[in-house]
Amino acid sequence: MSGIAEHRFSGTPVSLFVKASYDANFDQSYEVVTVAGGLRVFFDGNALSLQEHDRQVPFEYWLPAFANNLGL
Amino acid sequence: MYKLVAASILVVLPLSANAADLSDSFVFVEESITPPAPYVVGHLELSAGWWHREQEEFAGTVTEDRLLLEGYGRVNLPFAGNWNLELDTGVTYGFRDSPQDDQVHAGGVAHLWAGLGDVRLGAFGGGYYLWNASDVSLWVAGGEAEVDIGNNLTVGFQGSYSDPDGCGSCEFVYLTGWMDFYPMPNTKLGLQGGWYDFINFDISALEF
């Protein structure tokens, strides 16, 4: 599972976020933990809130963490 | 803004003895009308972090730490009424002890989706390439949905099928769901959980 906290600075094209994730298989013989921080730069004329922007660009696809091990 | 202007007029009018005095009495209120958002909107996302893995193998538990850099870009192109095409692409770079062992995956998917009031329904497809000890290309296709519940909450679901080349029969399905809570329009608290299963391997795993 993963979690994120993000805040967009009002009237600017920038937000900052921190996120963390934990991935494991059933018997926990494989576990991955990630912690990261970053920023988003929005191209919406500063006319949208973070929530409005997320509704207009709603979908993301992230490779699952275990995909890093494919082929190893 | 109109309410503010009207309120100013209502306050000023009683102070004016006659029409001639009105021009001296009005308070000029600067209008700050927010321009509409552009037709096409998008964002760049950059992050840096730490990646830690523990895996039990025959020789014992393998522990690995990496610096992780990610860069993603997404842009949405509305067309034909409620229909939209969202392009979603990026790269993740994991630094290992030896540069030749660094793990990189890069690629992108296209999301074709329709907005139906508070609901967004879509399908997506695309590909990723993974550079690691044994390079793997991976095709993915799936469906997705998101719904707004009230003013502050959005929940979503995504299911996909992936067919990697270069790692034998390691096709997998991946189901994930998320909840984004907006206590304020510019603040988000999000949670996501997922489950995957290799179709041809006797391996299944749960992301807690």
pLDDT at B201: 57
List B residues 131-150 in contact with A (Cβ-Cβ < 8 A).
132-136, 138, 140, 142, 144, 146, 148
Whether pLDDT at B37 is above 90: no
Query: Quick one: pLDDT at residue B60?
Result: 85
pLDDT score for B11: 43
Residue B69, C-beta contacts closer than 8 angstroms, at least 6 positions apart: B47, B48, B92, B93, B95
* pLDDT for residue B44 is more than 80: yes
Q: Give the whole-angstrom CA distance, residue B63 versus residue B58.
A: 13
Q: Which has the higher per-residue pLDDT, B136 or B19?
A: B136
Note the pTM of the prediction, 2 decimals.
Answer: 0.82
What is the β-pairing status of strands B119-131 and B136-149?
A: antiparallel
Chain B residues within 8 A of A34 when measuring between CB atoms: 49-52, 68
Query: Is a pLDDT exceeding 60 seen at residue B101?
Result: yes
Provide, as residue numbers in chain B, all residues whose Cβ is less than 8 Å from the Cβ of A50. 182, 185-188
**Which chain B residues touch A48 with a CB distance below 8 Å?**
37, 41
How many CB contacts within 8 angstroms connect chain A with chain B? 226
Query: Strand runs (DSSP E) across B58-171, as ranges?
Result: 60-79, 83-95, 103-116, 119-131, 136-149, 153-165
Kindly state the average pLDDT of the residues B165-186.
90
Tell me the ipTM for this assembly: 0.93
**Cβ <8 Å between A54 and B188:** yes
Is A44:B37 a contact under the CB 8 Å cutoff?
yes
Interface test with chain B among A21, A60, A66, by most B beta carbons within 10 Å: A60
Place of tokens 């009105």: B22
C-alpha neighbours within 13 Å on the C-beta side of residue B96:
14
Count the alpha carbons within 13 Å of B32 in the hemisphere toward its beta carbon.
Answer: 3
pLDDT given for residue B62 in this prediction: 85
CA distance B125 to B88: 10
- B128/B106 Cα distance (integer angstroms): 5
Check residues B30 and B199 and name the one with the higher pLDDT. B199
- Rounded Cα–Cα distance for residues B106 and B132 (Å): 12
- Calculate the average pLDDT of chain B: 83
